[in-house]
Amino acid sequence: MKESIEALAFFGGEPAFAEDQHVGRPNIGDEEMVLGRVRQALRTRWLTNDGPYVLEFERRVSDMLGVRHCVATSSGTMGLELAVKAAGLSGEVIVPSFTFVGTVHALTWLGITPVFCDIDPATHTIDPRRVEPLITPKTSGILGVHLWGRPCDVEALQSIASSSNLTLLFDAAHAFGCSHGGAMVGAFGAAEVFSFHATKVCNAFEGGAVTTNDDEFADAVRIMRNFGFAGEDDVRTLGTNGKMNEASAAMGLTSVESIGDFIAHNERNYRTYRSHLSGIPGIKILSYDELDRHNYHYVVITVDEAAAGLTRDHLHRLLTAERVLARRYFYPGCHRCEPYRSQFSNVGQRLGSTEFVASRVLCLPTGTAVSDNDIAAICALIRFCVANSYQVSGRIRPLERPERA
Ligand code: T4K
């Protein structure tokens, strides 16, 4: 402990890290393989529109997830929009507010009213007990989010959806490589949507995918992804351009081939964080259900001000000063972002757990760019901040900095 504290430039006025420690640093697989594939695409002059790498990417993903169809898209958000459109949703859709704003924007972009549902504070996912009271004659669906890669209570949501004749979709942006009840995330509900954005466990620079076991649903997404074309000169429906390009598919494919290494690294990081953070008052690391498979792509802590002596926001600022760029995902909750804040001004009253969690959560840097030593230093910083802070009328007194050894 002494060595790691001494190593922290914290005491000397210099930041603890010489370079920024980011959340969301991309995992890069076999660089040569990516470049080779991109070169091949250039040589063959096939750059997009259902090219060979996109088709291979879709095959690999659907095989891995054990689902009949994978339709690759240009982003997770585009995947959500296509899935919502293919499901024919309209009117109101029940969705958690505690998610990336893109989840909710996808609904609003299509003229659907998001109806914000509270989360279970223990899991941070939509609380099925809060869903039923929100159903109205205008409700057409439920959009659950497997936040942090922790699957929603799929069975409870499915049972509500079935009994109320609603379509159930899942935003699985965080959950690539995760399982629930022994089955890989990808085939739950009418469809699930993944993100392959640069910051995700596997990335395609930008990218997404809609997965489903429903043949008609997959066809609808495929056709709408390509302007409504069902064949040359045959435009069957309204569509958009949601296609993944070959450079993205080359990256995505190579990334998926390395998923075992990425997850192993993430899991080691997670366990290292867990052991270094243990015993720090007021700091709790979100756990994963050990019975399921996880990608451990998010290391999420909550800060309990009463026990830690400082707020999440204080800790966030202190870490930022030390070049540890932790993120307050997903603060302040979508209902407090525009246009929702203006549209639904009192909705926060029924989102008690969302507000509670959103004000306490902090995501710490992980992924293959982060080493054991980085984690030890980040945790030593957190331990130091907590040990040296106390609250005076809601303000934190400057940290007492011991003399440099
Ligand atoms: N649903 C959920 C639950 C989601 O979390 C997301 C996306 C979506 C849907 C939509 O999927 P996509 O349409 O994006 O495929 C980032 C990502 O842009 C976003 O994809 C992601 N969720 C969200 C959680 O994180 P920001 O606004 O935090 O991005 P930014 O630019 O601040 O970058 C985040 C961190 O990553 C920074 O510390 C910098 C680092 N970074 C980022 C990029 C792009 C790098 O080190 N290298 C990079 O190339 O949204």
Query: What backbone phi and psi angles, to 5 degrees, belong to 91?
Result: 65, -110
Task: Provide the 3-class DSSP secondary structure of residue 327.
Answer: strand
pLDDT value, residue 220: 98
pLDDT, mean of residues 217-228? 98
Ligand 1 center–CA 182 separation, angstroms? 28
In a domain, 351, yes or no: no
| 124 and 82 within one domain | yes
For the cut 80, the answer to whether the pLDDT of residue 8 exceeds it is: no
| 312 and 215 within one domain | no
Chosen domain end from 223, 257, 291: 257
In a domain, 356, yes or no: no
pLDDT value, residue 389: 78
Q: Is the dihedral of CA 181, 182, 184, 188 positive or negative?
A: negative
For the cut 50, the answer to whether the pLDDT of residue 2 exceeds it is: no
- Range of lowest pLDDT (43-52, 152-161, 170-179, 341-350): 341-350
pLDDT, mean of residues 305-315? 94
Q: Which residues span the domain enclosing 389?
A: 2-22+259-326+365-396
In a domain, 64, yes or no: yes
| 285 and 252 within one domain | no
| 320 and 218 within one domain | no
CA distance 183 to 192: 13
| 214 and 190 within one domain | yes
| 196 and 61 within one domain | yes
Residue 16 · residue 379 · CB < 8 Å? no
| 218 and 277 within one domain | no
pLDDT value, residue 402: 40
- 256 burial type by CB count under 10 A (0-12 exposed, 13-18 middle, 19+ buried): buried
- 337 burial type by CB count under 10 A (0-12 exposed, 13-18 middle, 19+ buried): middle
In a domain, 211, yes or no: yes
Chosen domain end from 239, 257, 275: 257
CATH code (residue 233): 3.40.640.10
For the cut 80, the answer to whether the pLDDT of residue 92 exceeds it is: yes
- What's 37-102 look like in SS3? HHHHHHHHCCCCCCCHHHHHHHHHHHHHHCCCEEEEECCHHHHHHHHHHHCCCCCEEEEECCCCHH
In a domain, 42, yes or no: yes
| 221 and 95 within one domain | yes
Residue with tokens 């934190």: 396
pLDDT value, residue 405: 33
pLDDT value, residue 388: 86
User: Of the residues 81, 100, 169, which should be mutated to test ligand 1's pocket, given the most ligand atoms within 8 Å of the CB?
Assistant: 100
For the cut 90, the answer to whether the pLDDT of residue 6 exceeds it is: no
| 312 and 191 within one domain | no
Residue 173 · residue 211 · CB < 8 Å? no
| 133 and 10 within one domain | no
For the cut 70, the answer to whether the pLDDT of residue 7 exceeds it is: no
Work out how many domains the chain is built from and give that number: 2
pLDDT, mean of residues 147-165? 98
Ligand 1 center–CA 101 separation, angstroms? 11
- What's 148-184 look like in SS3? HHCCCCHHHHHHHHHHCCCEEEEECCCCCCCEECCEE
Residue 377 · residue 16 · CB < 8 Å? yes
Higher pLDDT, 97 or 17: 97
CA distance 312 to 314: 5
pLDDT value, residue 403: 40
Split at pLDDT 50, 70, 90, the class of 399 is low
Residue with tokens 């809609």: 210
Task: Provide the 3-class DSSP secondary structure of residue 208.
Answer: strand
| 374 and 244 within one domain | no
Higher pLDDT, 166 or 397: 166
Q: Whose CA is nearest to atom 35 of ligand 1?
A: 24
**Tens-digit pLDDT profile for residues 263-292:** 999 999 999 999 999 999 999 999 988 889
In a domain, 266, yes or no: yes
pLDDT, mean of residues 71-82? 98
pLDDT value, residue 13: 66
Which DSSP string do the residues of 209-276 spell out, in sequence order? EEEES-HHHHHHHHHHHBTTEEETTEE-S---B-PPPHHHHHHHHHHHHTHHHHHHHHHHHHHHHHHH
Chosen domain end from 209, 237, 257: 257
In a domain, 90, yes or no: yes
CATH code (residue 15): 3.90.1150.10
> Cβ atoms within 10 A of the Cβ of 32, count?
9
pLDDT value, residue 309: 92
Mean per-residue pLDDT over the chain, rounded: 93
**Tens-digit pLDDT profile for residues 123-150:** 999 999 999 999 999 999 999 999 999 9
pLDDT value, residue 211: 98
Ligand 1 center–CA 164 separation, angstroms? 34
Could you tell me the pTM of the whole model? 0.94
CA distance 255 to 253: 5
Ligand 1 center–CA 221 separation, angstroms? 24
| 56 and 16 within one domain | no
pLDDT, mean of residues 219-238? 97
Q: Nearest Cα to 318, choosing from 2, 16, 7? A: 16
CA-based radius of gyration for the chain = 22
User: Of the residues 75, 199, 370, which should be mutated to test ligand 1's pocket, given the most ligand atoms within 8 Å of the CB?
Assistant: 199
Angle at 277 between CA 275 and CA 281, to 5 degrees: 135
User: Percent of the chain scored above 90 by pLDDT?
Assistant: 88
For the cut 70, the answer to whether the pLDDT of residue 404 exceeds it is: no
pLDDT value, residue 15: 85
Q: Whose CA is nearest to atom 49 of ligand 1?
A: 198
- Which residues on adjacent β-strands are paired with residue 212? 69
In a domain, 70, yes or no: yes
